[in-house]
Structure 1
Amino acid sequence: MAKSAKRWRRVSISVLVILLLASGGYWLWWQLGSRAIHQQTYRHTGIVTVFVPGYGSNSLTFGPMVQRFKQDKASDQVTTIHVSADGKRTITGADRYNGKNPLINVVFADAKSPQKEVRQLTGLLHWLRVQRHVTRVNLVGHSMGSNLSFNYMTTPHANLQPQVINYVSFASEFYRDPTTQIRALPKTLHILVIGGQVFGAKGDWAVSLAGVKRLAAKFKAAGLSTTLFVYTGTPVGAYHSTLHQNPYVDAEILHFLFT
């Protein structure tokens, strides 16, 4: 019994040490990644930024990111708009978008129906334009949310819509050649493409880095102002669903949109 107790004590201590080292490593990684953010001053652009999440997403996809952007003083207005399966909108936070770089986190109840989500996104942006007088927006899409944003921008609209100024696409590749659709994008659009690469892998364990680079190359070939950023690291920051919980990605998006 004494030997067994000692063995378990050693195992417990070893596990505790590993957890402490992992926690310390994560804290250091976050602090180093956040330095550029904390040293930056963000300008007031007058543009509303709309965050479009991916397949099977929820409020936690972009919720922490928009709150971090507010804490970092890039914005002073954060809103979450829940869109029900039948298109009803529930607003939490600011209902008028006249502050410093307002941020809108969109959450779709039916987050596995891309065609419906594109229609709902179109309706939401039309509502922002007509009812809230939002004339300019940025679109930030993760994974399928990037595809939704792209489909929205390349589809003709019969109703009034805001102008898209900047488009952030990350953790996304298009499996069909988007060349024809890209021609519908305005030449004034600025694009940031973000990809992840887990050490030793070909991408972020869900999307290939080659596909992300191919997408950026398509935008550039069409004459669009395009920046490519690739984060390479451990799954903690480079995995498909952790890229939006990564201070280095935060810094790239903040710099692209607000400096």
Structure 2
Amino acid sequence: MRKKFLFSFVVILLGLISVGCGNEKTAETVKENPTTSESKEKNTNESVSSSSESTDPLTANQTAVPTLFIHGYEGTEGSFSGMLSRFETSGWGKKALTITVQPDGSISETGTWQNQSDNPLIQVLFADNKNNEWNQADWVKAVLSYLKNTYQIDEVNLVGHSMGGVSSFRYLVTYGEDESLPTVNKFVAIGAPFNDFVTGNEAQSLDELNQNGPLVISERYSDFAAGIQQYPKTIKMLNIVGDVQNGSDSDGTVPVRSGLAIGYLMQTNGLDYHEEEIVGSQAHHSQLHENTQVDKLVGDFLWGTP
């Protein structure tokens, strides 16, 4: 049974103003969803139900392994700035660098790297924030190569929202076994459309999706299926999806079944995978990286003390 976080509000806020990356889409196949109101800018597939009131404090395990945060389509520095600020306030990590990648793969940075062991946080920005996932995968590679060569960083974690999650996964199935690059220990995808936006899977139950994979697959998903053997078996993955519970079975942009479709490939290949579903009004696509329940899931997964 999927894990559900039920959000109870005394007053439902009308006219929700979204923040972050906005209506994210792949450069060629995603059309703006008219239902959204966003501004542009374990080895298991099982989850256990839980109350959204679970706010147990996180005892963060402090390490020197940096975590990279990768925005989605049309994302900006604002896409993850709120989450990073909350992590710092909670003492879960400390922002060290902001790295900007140009279309030619050249890199500039702000901030200071001091080899700290306080869960350093690195924000990754793409100067061309509307490009496709293949180029973005190459840019992720460029960032990791830069960190390796400049700061001798050997291990990282990746967190990607929407297309940032898709591009990170494409990086992993393309370059994940390149020993000249830092090893990826943990990967978090938030609201990522792994099976793109194909239609025809709406009536498929989630149990059937987990057991047999999607009925209709996109070119993206087919590519992932072909490359899944290249995905490093040591990586632990957390996949977070949202359902606004308005009858769309989506977070307002990304269908739940598209986000969870990757679980079938992970499970059938014996890879370390866990998925969580956030439900309610704050499960909207552009609100997922502003959601404190998502913060807790990400923090526990990356740094929680067993």
TM-score bucket of the superposed structures, by smaller chain = 0.7 to 0.9
Render the CA deviation track for 1:205-225: whole Å, top value 9, x for unaligned.
Answer: 111111222212321221111
1:118 matches 2:132: no
Q: Does the 8 Å CA contact 1:48/1:97 hold for their aligned counterparts?
A: no
Residue 21 (structure 1) shift = 5.1
Residue 76 (structure 1) shift = 2.9
Equivalent residue, structure 2, for 1:246:
291
Count, aligned residues: 230
Q: Does the 8 Å CA contact 1:147/1:172 hold for their aligned counterparts?
A: yes
Q: Secondary structure at the match of 1:172?
A: coil
Residue 35 (structure 1) shift = 6.5
Residue 45 (structure 1) shift = 2.8
Alignment of 1:86-165 (within 5 A): 86-114=104-132, 115-156=134-175, 160-165=180-185
User: CA 1:228–1:188 in 2, change beyond 3 Å: closer, same or farther?
Assistant: same
Cα distance in 1, alignment partners of residues 261 and 234 from structure 2? 21
Which sits farther off after the overlay, 98-107 or 73-82? 73-82
Cα distance in 1, alignment partners of residues 82 and 95 from structure 2? 14
Equivalent residue, structure 2, for 1:199:
245
1:36 matches 2:55: yes
Output the amino acid matched with 1:52: I
Q: Does the 8 Å CA contact 1:77/1:94 hold for their aligned counterparts?
A: no
Which sits farther off after the overlay, 78-87 or 54-63? 78-87
Cα distance in 2, alignment partners of residues 160 and 34 from structure 1? 44
1:173 matches 2:218: no
Q: Does the 8 Å CA contact 2:136/2:167 hold for their aligned counterparts?
A: yes
User: CA 1:86–1:226 in 2, change beyond 3 Å: closer, same or farther?
Assistant: same
Q: Secondary structure at the match of 1:253?
A: helix
Alignment of 1:27-106 (within 5 A): 36=55, 39-106=57-124
Q: Which runs of 5+ in 2 are unaligned?
A: 1-9, 17-50, 196-220
Render the CA deviation track for 1:107-158: whole Å, top value 9, x for unaligned.
Answer: 1110111233222221110010121011101011111101111111111477
Q: Secondary structure at the match of 1:79?
A: strand
Give the one of 224, 233, 237 matched to 1:187. Answer: 233
Cα distance in 2, alignment partners of residues 79 and 202 from structure 1? 37
Q: Which runs of 5+ in 1 are unaligned?
A: 1-19, 27-31
Q: Does the 8 Å CA contact 2:68/2:158 hold for their aligned counterparts?
A: yes
| Structure 1 ranges of 4+ moved more than 4 A | 20-23, 32-35
Residue 99 (structure 1) shift = 3.0
Output the amino acid matched with 1:214: A
Q: What is the TM-score normalised by the length of structure 1?
A: 0.81
Equivalent residue, structure 1, for 2:268:
221
Q: Does the 8 Å CA contact 2:76/2:125 hold for their aligned counterparts?
A: yes
Higher normalized contact order (CA 8 Å, seq sep 6+, divided by chain length) = 2
Residue 233 (structure 1) shift = 0.4
Output the amino acid matched with 1:189: I
Which sits farther off after the overlay, 176-185 or 194-203? 176-185
Cα distance in 2, alignment partners of residues 78 and 68 from structure 1? 15
Output the amino acid matched with 2:131: S
